[in-house]
Amino acid sequence: MKNRWPVAYKIIDELEQAGFEAFVVGGAVRDFIRNAPVNDVDITTNATPDEVKKIFTHTIDVGIEHGTVLVVLDEPIEVTTYRSESTYSDFRRPDGVKFVRTLTEDLQRRDFTINAMALTKEDELVDYFGGRQAIEAGIIQAVGNPQLRFSEDALRMLRAVRFSAQLNFTLESETFNAIRSLHALIGHVSIERVKVELEKIWLSEFPYKGMKLFVDSGLSSIFPGDWERNLQSWVNFSSFNLKANGWAFFVLIQSIEENDINELLNRYKCSNDEKKQVKNVIQAVHNLLNGAWTADELFQYSDEVLRVAYHYGKFILSNDIALPLEEFLLQKRAIPINSKKDIVVNGNDFMQWANQKRGPWIKEVLDILTSMIVNGQIKNDRHDIKEWFSREYLH
Ligand code: ATP
Ligand code: MG
């Protein structure tokens, strides 16, 4: 680990010098064993947060109630005290966090065997639950009794599905059966937490796999709708990179049946940006269903909105769209301006030419002019525009 993760190595070394134990743990170990890029390295230790803070000069309390301190050396690394989670009464959060003395107890509270391994600074793997074997077999398996573990924290059920979509792993049968029988508990998890996991599924390499598991496990029943049917629209999804539009697509798929889009958007606690995005996509889909997108419409929508609307339109129309998406995007590129800001004149020019005060008329004129430029009826040229303006508005 010395050269691979120099900062983690240094932190572990200093903790050990002070007489404590410390290991790299969780996702970093999993991804290291998979030979995959490691996002962030987390450290687990038997030192308490106060003891960690005494050893390092620069630390930040990010979650001291969970035993986590951020140690900032060349980069920040989360150092968490060995802990177990005591009793759970709300299917989500432990009622309290209990610091424990041994690494084994700490690993035991972790969700899946693939996430429950530790690595010493000499690169020795600590693997009490068969995590490495699970990685080799491509299996996601709960640590301990899955029924119990999902009853403690219902979010773990969705995490299982999410890891399956990210890693292309299979859910071990007892783990899967436990989700099937306990899926309704996901209703205790806040929509925000559910959203985070769903978004990770959509952005994963195997979104269809994730969505299929989401439906097959029964977890999708937290959202209304005919999910067996909805699933069909995710079939070709692997080739369709959602980026920021996951929610747009998700809501759209459901709005096949639901007419009150505002109700849906509020139910999913979509942000104003997400709401705007969804509405734009719906509008763009309607435009597309009328035939093809006009230049005005291509100008109005972002590439992302057009992309989502196109795929969705294709789904509704069973692939029957006259032009490929690339063709529409080429047409969009051929439009001389990207936004109104690119127009070489502005409201002040109109006011001066007409010798008129500011008012709603400016926007009206600008809208007409924009559409004419977009449709190639007038050049984006100051002289031409002034001539047109004088002809139309000055008598
Ligand atoms: P990612 O690459 O998505 O960050 P990760 O494995 O690091 O994956 P995190 O959510 O960052 O996932 O959690 C870090 C570790 O904490 C996990 O590997 C797991 O050991 C443990 N963990 C996280 N959430 C839970 C949970 N809900 N129940 C039990 N253990 C959990
Ligand atoms: Mg992580």
DSSP-derived pairing of the beta strands 42-45 and 139-140:
unpaired
Check pocket membership of 153 for ligand 1, CB cut-off 6 A.
yes
Residue nearest to atom 22 of ligand 1 (CA): 110
Check pocket membership of 27 for ligand 1, CB cut-off 6 A.
yes
Please state, in angstroms and rounded to a whole number, the distance separating the CA atoms of residues 246 and 200: 10
Residue nearest to atom 8 of ligand 1 (CA): 27
Check pocket membership of 259 for ligand 1, CB cut-off 6 A.
no
Check pocket membership of 39 for ligand 1, CB cut-off 6 A.
yes
Pick the CATH number of 1-134 from 3.40.50.620, 3.40.50.880, 3.30.460.10, 3.40.50.300: 3.30.460.10
Alpha carbon of 335 to ligand 1 centroid (Å): 47
Place of tokens 């849906």: 264
Check pocket membership of 162 for ligand 1, CB cut-off 6 A.
no
Alpha carbon of 304 to ligand 2 centroid (Å): 28
What mean pLDDT do residues 253-279 have?
75
Please state, in angstroms and rounded to a whole number, the distance separating the CA atoms of residues 172 and 160: 10
What mean pLDDT do residues 273-287 have?
85
Residue range 138-222 in CATH 3.30.360.10: no
Check pocket membership of 3 for ligand 1, CB cut-off 6 A.
no
Alpha carbon separation from 215 to 44, 178, 211, 229, 301 (Å, rounded): 35, 15, 6, 10, 32
The pair of three-digit structure tokens given for residue 146, joined into one six-digit string: 């899955």
In testing the pocket of ligand 1, which one of 91, 97, 111 has its CB within 8 Å of the most ligand atoms?
A: 111
DSSP structural state of residue 218: S
What was the ipTM of the complex prediction? 0.98
Q: What is the pLDDT of residues 130-165, one digit of tens each?
A: 999 999 999 999 999 999 999 999 999 999 999 999
Residue range 340-393 in CATH 1.10.246.80: yes
Alpha carbon of 144 to ligand 2 centroid (Å): 21
Q: What is the pLDDT of residues 37-73, one digit of tens each?
A: 998 999 999 999 999 999 999 999 998 888 999 999 9
Check pocket membership of 26 for ligand 1, CB cut-off 6 A.
yes
Q: What is the pLDDT of residues 188-216, one digit of tens each?
A: 999 889 988 988 888 888 888 998 999 99
In testing the pocket of ligand 1, which one of 115, 145, 155, 164 has its CB within 8 Å of the most ligand atoms?
A: 115
**Domain segments of the chain as ranges:** 1-134, 138-222, 236-335, 340-393
Type and span of the H or E element at 61: strand 59-63
